[in-house]
């Protein structure tokens, strides 16, 4: 293979040819795209560094191990520069193709619910509530595919939040199956919070956002869903609120015991 000498004066030149938000992707597909754009930037950066080290002879061609040091330097620097967002190529690509910011998807890997064990004694599943939730299976399955969240997780949140009552209204004015506050519902694009389709999609979208925010840590995502991300950040973990600690343990137990 012939060696490629790379010179780039305007790395955004070709990126601008992509139509903004032209790809209609699921959360899982966006996560894969996020990883691909970062790997592309790292590869591009590596080629640029290789060209630089060849021109400068940084480690010398005659010294023992110079070629090895060149390779290590190029690899490490490419990875460092890409992760530190110095060039912004990955960010530009991702934003152009999805219309969203890469920071929400940056190298996150959502951990499967089965990898987590409940922290408290097993919580018994309410049979009546379970039967009510089953009626919403088609909606839950669709939201699961759309936002990349296991259907058992969605059902478990609904079980803990409303026990499958689509007309549930809390003292804090949280509404519907996934107990959405008005502000959260609005942010998630929910127009009719009492509509099961909109409520489940809005709640699942919000939970997927929390899961990405905490690098796939399902316990922290649940804590944020219950107490808000500001409290999770304030206490650097699950807030020391009895309600929130009980909520996280209860949902984790439901995940272990509810069928997908």
141 with 238, same domain: the answer is yes
**What's the mean pLDDT when you consider all of the chain?**
76
Residue 51 counted as domain residue: yes
Of the listed ranges 57-71, 94-108, 163-177, the one predicted with least confidence: 57-71
174 with 192, same domain: the answer is yes
26 with 138, same domain: the answer is no
Q: Is the pLDDT of residue 71 over 70?
A: no
At 75 the pLDDT is: 53
Q: Is the pLDDT of residue 45 over 80?
A: no
Residue 10 counted as domain residue: no
Confidence class of residue 112 from pLDDT cuts 50, 70 and 90? very low
Mark which of 45, 78, 104 sits at the end of a domain. Answer: 104
Residue 6 counted as domain residue: no
For residue 103, what are the contacts with CB-CB under 8 A and spacing of at least 6? 91
Contact, 20 vs 99, CB < 8 A? Answer: yes
63 with 136, same domain: the answer is no
Which residue has better confidence, 56 or 6? Answer: 56
Mark which of 104, 127, 149 sits at the end of a domain. Answer: 104
Domain residues for the domain of 36 are 15-104
For residue 211, what are the contacts with CB-CB under 8 A and spacing of at least 6? 110, 149, 217, 218, 221
Residue 250 counted as domain residue: yes
Of the listed ranges 3-7, 42-46, 85-89, 240-244, the one predicted with least confidence: 3-7
Residue 41 counted as domain residue: yes
* CATH assignment at residue 222: 1.10.530.10
Number of domains in the chain: 2
Q: Is the pLDDT of residue 66 over 70?
A: no
127 with 85, same domain: the answer is no
End-to-end CA, the chain? 50
Q: Is the pLDDT of residue 114 over 50?
A: no
89 with 169, same domain: the answer is no
Active site residues: 161
CA gap 81, 184 in Å, rounded: 36
At 101 the pLDDT is: 64
146 with 207, same domain: the answer is yes
Tokens representing 29 are 């597909």
Mark which of 104, 138, 170 sits at the end of a domain. Answer: 104
| 122 three-class SS | coil
CA gap 252, 249 in Å, rounded: 5
């Amino acid at each position: 293979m012939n060696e490629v000498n790379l010179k780039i004066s305007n790395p955004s030149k070709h990126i601008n040819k992509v139509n903004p938000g032209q790809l209609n992707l699921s959360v899982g597909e966006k996560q894969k795209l996020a990883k691909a754009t970062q790997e592309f930037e790292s590869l591009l950066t590596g080629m640029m560094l290789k060209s630089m080290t060849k021109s400068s002879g940084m480690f010398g061609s005659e010294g023992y191990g110079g070629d090895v040091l060149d390779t290590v330097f190029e690899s490490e620097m490419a990875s460092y520069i890409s992760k530190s967002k110095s060039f912004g190529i990955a960010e530009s690509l991702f934003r152009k193709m999805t219309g969203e910011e890469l920071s929400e998807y940056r190298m996150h890997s959502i951990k499967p619910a089965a990898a987590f064990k409940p922290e408290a004694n097993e919580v018994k599943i309410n049979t009546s509530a379970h039967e009510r939730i089953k009626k919403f299976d088609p909606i839950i399955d669709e939201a699961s595919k759309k936002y990349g969240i296991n259907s058992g997780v969605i059902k478990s949140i609904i079980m803990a939040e409303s026990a499958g009552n689509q007309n549930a209204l809390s003292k804090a004015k949280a509404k519907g199956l996934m107990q959405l506050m008005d502000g959260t519902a609005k942010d998630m694009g929910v127009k009719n919070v009492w509509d099961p389709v909109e409520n489940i999609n809005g709640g699942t979208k919000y939970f997927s956002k929390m899961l990405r925010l905490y690098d796939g840590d399902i316990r922290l995502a649940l804590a944020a869903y219950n107490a808000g991300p500001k409290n999770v950040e304030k206490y650097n973990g699950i807030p020391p609120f009895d309600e929130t600690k009980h909520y996280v343990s209860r949902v984790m137990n439901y995940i272990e015991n509810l069928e997908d």
